A = this chain, B = another copy of it.
Amino acid sequence: MSLAVKSIKSLAPLLDRVLVQRIKAETKTAGGIFLPESAVKELNEAKVLAVGPGGLDKEGKRVQVSVQPGDKVLIPQYGGSPIKVGDEEYSLFRDHELLAKINE
């Protein structure tokens, strides 16, 4: 889905949605040699850019999402809503679809 917004920062996820950007795998070796595209593995690590206010539980109270902007997370292999702003790609996930936080 292409968006005409000037910056991804104008996107405020609704309910329990989390906006993430996949972390790109290295395309050159430590020694500076560029890797052929087939050798670059797609990673399932992503950076959280923005989070929704949380979904509503059965009593109408907000359930805060599990992650915060800046967190690094493990995202599932499939799923999420892809978004494209300019040449950059992003995804929106429901909070419960995120698998793990990555602490470094």
Contact = CB atoms under 8 A, between A and B. Distances in A.
Contacts of A19: 100
Pick the most buried of A1, A26, A67, A104: most chain B CB atoms within 10 A of its CB: A1
Interface string A2-43: 111110001111110101000101100000000000000111
Given A1-B77, A2-B43, A57-B60, A101 B23 contact: no
Majority SS of interface residues in chain A? loop
A2 B92 contact: no
A25 B5 CA distance: 11
Interface of A: 1-6, 10-15, 17, 19, 23, 25-26, 41-45, 52, 56-61, 63, 66-67, 73-74, 76-77, 81, 83, 92, 96, 98-104
Given A17-B100, A81-B99, 14 more contacts: A1-B43, A1-B77, A2-B44, A3-B43, A4-B26, A10-B103, A10-B104, A11-B102, A13-B100, A44-B83, A56-B57, A57-B59, A60-B61, A74-B92
